[in-house]
Each structure stands twice: as C-alpha cells, then as structure tokens.
Structure 1
C-alpha cells in the first residue's frame, strides 16, 4: 500500500453512507493485496501461495495459444459496436454454445442474453433491478463470500442467510428452512423477500443439487413470488470423483433444461454463466444473464448495462472461442480430466494426514476441509468455541506460512475451523500449499 497525506476530512462528512460501507468493507478485503504478491517457484519464492481464490490455471497455456492465434480486431471493435449488452456476434456465440451444452428445454435465443463484464456485475444488476433497498434475498449457508457484496453493497439489498444446522444444504428437506428464514425476516423487518440466490454447482461444497431440491425451491419461489437467480458458472467444471467411492453423486442439470410451466412463472427464473471458471479466464471479465421470459428485464438493462460493458477485445476473443465447437469440446473434456486428477491428488494428501473434509464433491475447484479439528489434535489446550479460533488459524496460515485459504466464516460456515481449498492448480502448486498448511497446524 502506498502512503497518503493525512486528511482532515472525517469519514462521515466526506462519504455517503454507501461510501462509508465501502470503506469498512474495503478495509477488510485482503484479496487484492494477496494476488499482488503471488508465489512463483522461480520469480517470487517468498510470495503468498494462494489456494483460496477460485482460479483455474490448469489449461492456461492451451487457452492462450488459441487466443493468440485467433485474436483479430476490426474497426467495429473501436466503436460501441452493437451496444452495451454484448455484440450481436457474441450473443449469437453464447446462445450457440449454451444450446449445445446446457440442454435447454426451450432454445436460447440471442435476445434472451445480456452480457456483462463478469458474473459479479450480472448479480449486482439483478439485485439492483429486483430489490428495493432493505428488501431481502435468501442465501443458503455456506455460500460464496462475494455474493454478499455483489447483492448488497451498491444495490443496498439485504442478504438473509439461511442456517442449515445439521441438515445437508443440498437436500430437499433444506428448502423448508428457506421458507422459515423468509417468514422470520418479513415479520421482523416488515420488508419483503424478493429473491433466492442459488449457486449450482455449489460453491464451496463442490456438489450439484438433486432434482427434487430444485423442484421444491421452484415451488417455494412461485408461492411467494420470488425470483430465483441460478448462478451456474461451474456448470461444465464437473468431473469424476475417483476417491469417495461410497458417495452418491448428482449430475448437473441447468435450470434452462427444465420445463417450468407447471412449477413457476418463467419470468421469475434467471440463469448466470461466464467463462471465468469453466474456461479458466477470470481476467477476461465475461458473464451472461440468460432470462428467457422477462422482457422488462432486458428493457431495463439497456440503462444499467452501460456500467458492465465488455471490452471489445474480450467480446471478440470469447466470440471466437464459443463459436469453435472442436476447440470447446476438446477444452471442456481435458479440463474435466485435469480437475479430477488434481482433486484426487489433493485428497490423497488430506486423507493421509487424517484431515476431515466434506465428501462427495464432483464439481467446481474446491474442497471444504476442517483444519480446526486437526489443529486441536495438535494443540489439545485450545478451545474452538472461543471467539477468534478460526481467525487464529487463518492468520497463522497467511502471515506465518504465506499460504492463503478461503476463511470458512466469510463463506457462511456455521461451525468454526472450516476452510475452502482450491485445487485447480498444477500438482507442484498443491504440494507446496499442503506442505505449508500442514506446517501451520503443527
């Protein structure tokens, strides 16, 4: 961080309440500081090794070779092109790709798609357009941490976390807890619950929702006239779990593949997808809102989409990638194979060291593991119920061993000591990370 002159301006005088909230949140956000000092075995051996950020680096070389061979801008790319909702060519390419891979019940048309500079912008748009300040959106625990800021910071909506207790968050029985949370919030605040935020495949649990759970959730949304926002950014990052042999695995089913007519007003259903995860391209900043039955949403987006305009370079690159069936088929298959291998490699280390983990994942990049339990085994005098227990382990990992894992508390963990570890990296990276983690627990 650079140095600044001392200002006489008091926070309350110089910032709006929204700005003050951003200052408070920004003071706690260390992610960007971490990635500015990332470990590399040759160029930055003293840096921070990240297995906390959901980045997939397994096929970067393959993707870069394709991009470098197929990047070609035209004069049109130096203009506003076809507008801020994505070029015609890009929306054609996305609809073509989605129709091939998501098995939609109703063919996805380019007019159903709003392109944004990443799915965070897409989520913020939907929160801004569907919820008034103070109104609620349900989010099951645990959850992807950044959903909180995406949904609340600028839209000023209220995330209502849904505690699961001892229930599996992905089972049909968990849906009654959503209804309880909605009733409690509305009685307590007098405000409405307007939407449910879903992540399928689930982040951080790395599993796909069974059909029965989604059906119950659709019916609940219809009964309460709530929007269902389905973030499917890990849709094609499913793979074969070679270790947890006794588990039952659910295959991924996009909400686009459902016949919704008997379950919910289709205008309440919105699907998100992007290239950050399935194509390991966080930096290209490309996301999509697919809403097939809500014309007013697309009309409203003509205003707000200016603030999520994709760069012409990313627009052209992604159009080229998604239009090339041979390349995308090869890439998806290879990515799934490598994710399975990396998961297997990480899990062998975890099991060898008797670290508790949540079994049965077959999607995404992450393993949900209980480092707190292992820490207690090595430090029998410690107490996990005391405030700061999880923070103590997190700080030891980050500041003493320079390894970054995602803090379970920030991800809505209801029990202390749980963390999310990302395995979508080369095996050398995972070996180094686990060596540091194990050292920190001693």
Structure 2
C-alpha cells in the first residue's frame, strides 16, 4: 500500500490533543458535504498554500474518499488518466511536448466511440515522484478548453515535495483568464498522504466555479460523507498553523532521508532509478534489469512475473510497472515511507532476491 508511516509519532499525540467530542458529532452534523468547521479550516489552509485565488468554504465537498464525489458525475463516463497510462515514447511525459500526446489519445478515444469528459492528473505524480511544470499545466488547461472537457488535478502529494527540482504548482495557482473556463477546473486533496493519515479518510474536492456540479454532488454525497469525529480531528490540526508548518518541514526531512537510503542501496546493487524525483514517497526502480544480471536464463518477457513471485516469497510487495501501464518492462514502484527498520529489512530481502 502507498502510505506514509514516517510521521505517526508526531501526528498521533496531536490528534488526541484538544479534541472535544460533542453530541453534534453523533449526527449528520452540518450536512453530507462536510462540516462547516473543517471547510473553514481547509479554505484558510489551501488558500495560503495554493493561491492566488481565494478558496472559500462553499467551494468544498468533503468525503471519506477523495474521488468519490466526482466519480458518480464525471468519471462514470470516460476520463483520460495521465502518464504512465499513455504511450509517450521518447517524449518527457511531464514536459510541454507531452500535451500533444494527450490530444492524440483523446482523439483516438473519440474515434473509437468513447465520450471523453475530462483529464485526471496526479500532481505530484504517483508513482514517479515528479511535479508537473507550470508550462505543462497551462498547456493541458488549454487542451481541456479546446475540447471542453474537465481538468481534475489530484494534489494529495502536494505537501510532500521534499527536495530541490521542479516545484509544485497547483491548478488553482494559475490565473485562468484566457486559458480555460474556470468551471472546468477542479482539484482533489486530502490528509492521507501529506499528513500520513490515510486511516482518517478525510478528503476534499475543490470546485470554485461550477454550481451545477455542486448541486449534483450535494444530491448524492450521503453515500461518501466523512465521519464527524475525523473531520473534527483534521480541523483541529489545520487551525494550528505553527504546528502544521513544523510538521510538514519534519516530514520533508524524513522523506528526503529515506529517499537517500534507497538511492544508496540502488547504487550498491546497480539498480537503475528513474531521474527527477523530488516529491511523494516513491522510487521508480528497474529491479528487473538487476535481476537479469544474476538470472541470465530469464527472458525479459517473464522477468516481472518471476521477480514479483520471488519478492512475494520474501514477503516483499512492490507494485510492478505493468500495473501502471509502464512502457518498459522490469520497472517497479518502491515505497520508501516505511519505518527505518521496515525499509532496511525490505531492502535486504530485495537484495537476496536479486542476487540469489
């Protein structure tokens, strides 16, 4: 599972601090689209970090699963998913030139009879740990405007940009005038990754200029509403700005340290690593290539299958690249946000698999 366990020692005491339970929390509260208290706290937090446009409480839908509110209204038709689902060949999937690849895929889908209603990005990216340049985001906005489709930006890793390189740009930080109808732009965000709290199951959809979408989601939101106590816990955290700032900084330090540990291990085992990662908690590693060095009898066609089985026997679970539509064989997604003990043990067991 892709989750961040590095900050549990800091987060748990804070969650238990100053949490006052009330009878109101045992009801449907302020409605099925989320509590007013958390909407207010999130609007202040995201406005300060996304800018320049003001994000108001009325722009939010809160849910236990961040894509649930949209899935019944947009994803139910046909949404284009970003790299590595598409084939980009030699084109950098994060560069401006990649926009033409999205357009090719969109036109091909329409040609086959599919109705494409939107494009979903994950920025920063799961599983490559990279951020989309501002120029690319604007290019994708113009593409969505051209074909009148929605742009949904999944920004759940936005607080996990731990290293130098391409900075994170939110879709909400772009002045849309002359680029895209703002009613087509939406983001999703939650506490699961940036705060290392996937068990709280509190997420949000932010849509600033689409009242029709708001009305549609309100009608069906009872099926995905978040728990009142979880909402209260998150609101308490977000209102304490100095604590949040210190928490995010420490999270960055720990993520950077664990990434460095994985890179050191990869170099020692001559495992190729995809360049450019500076966000989230993934390392895109070509384990299959290192495996073939010690298992010359294994053909490329079967490397991923045999390697996955061998890792499983060591109780090591890595997501194979083919699960993400990787264009090249033998790549795996390694999650480095485990405890130091678990990460070290996992790397040692992976070494045994590669070399045995």
What per-residue deviation string (whole Å, max 9, x for no partner) do you get for residues 30-62 of structure 1?
A: xxxxxxxxxxxxxxxxxxxxxxx2111111011
Matched pairs, number: 355
Q: 3-state SS of the aligned residue for 1:421?
A: strand
1:162-311 aligned at under 5 Å gives the runs 162-189=86-113, 191-240=114-163, 249-311=165-227
Q: Tell whether 2:70 aligns with 1:126.
A: yes
**Could you say which residue in structure 1 is the equivalent of 2:252?**
336
Aligned Cα RMSD in Å? 1.2
Distance in 2 (alpha carbons) for counterparts of 1:301 and 1:114: 8
**Could you say which residue in structure 2 is the equivalent of 1:92?**
40
- TM-score norm. by structure 2 comes to 0.97
- TM-score norm. by structure 1 comes to 0.78
Q: Which runs of 5+ in 1 are unaligned?
A: 1-52, 143-160, 242-248
CA shift at 1:166, angstroms? 2.3
For the 8 Å contact 2:68–2:224, the answer to whether it is kept is no
Q: 3-state SS of the aligned residue for 2:158?
A: coil
CA shift at 1:136, angstroms? 2.4
Q: Which runs of 5+ in 2 are unaligned?
A: none
1:431-442 aligned at under 5 Å gives the runs 431-442=344-355
For the 8 Å contact 2:121–2:154, the answer to whether it is kept is yes
Distance in 2 (alpha carbons) for counterparts of 1:72 and 1:394: 47
CA shift at 1:380, angstroms? 1.2
For the 8 Å contact 1:140–1:164, the answer to whether it is kept is no
Distance in 1 (alpha carbons) for counterparts of 2:274 and 2:328: 13
For the 8 Å contact 2:82–2:122, the answer to whether it is kept is no
1:378-397 aligned at under 5 Å gives the runs 378-384=294-300, 386=301, 388-397=302-311
Distance in 1 (alpha carbons) for counterparts of 2:179 and 2:111: 26
Q: Which runs of 4+ in 1 moved over 3 A?
A: none
CA shift at 1:131, angstroms? 5.2
What per-residue deviation string (whole Å, max 9, x for no partner) do you get for residues 206-249 of structure 1?
A: 011111111111110000001000000000101125xxxxxxx2
1:400-419 aligned at under 5 Å gives the runs 400-419=313-332
Distance in 2 (alpha carbons) for counterparts of 1:188 and 1:254: 32
**Could you say which residue in structure 2 is the equivalent of 1:349?**
265
Q: Tell whether 2:80 aligns with 1:138.
A: yes
What per-residue deviation string (whole Å, max 9, x for no partner) do you get for residues 377-414 of structure 1?
A: 11112210x2x43122111101x111111121111111
For the 8 Å contact 1:89–1:319, the answer to whether it is kept is yes
For the 8 Å contact 1:105–1:257, the answer to whether it is kept is yes
For the 8 Å contact 1:342–1:426, the answer to whether it is kept is no
Deviates more, 1:345-354 or 1:264-273: 345-354
Q: Tell whether 2:336 aligns with 1:420.
A: no
Change (3 A) 1:186 1:95: same
CA shift at 1:125, angstroms? 2.9
CA shift at 1:280, angstroms? 0.3
Distance in 2 (alpha carbons) for counterparts of 1:127 and 1:81: 24
Q: 3-state SS of the aligned residue for 1:219?
A: helix
For the 8 Å contact 1:345–1:427, the answer to whether it is kept is no
For the 8 Å contact 1:140–1:163, the answer to whether it is kept is no
For the 8 Å contact 1:112–1:292, the answer to whether it is kept is yes
Distance in 1 (alpha carbons) for counterparts of 2:138 and 2:323: 29
Distance in 2 (alpha carbons) for counterparts of 1:179 and 1:250: 24
Q: 3-state SS of the aligned residue for 1:162?
A: coil
Q: 3-state SS of the aligned residue for 1:70?
A: coil
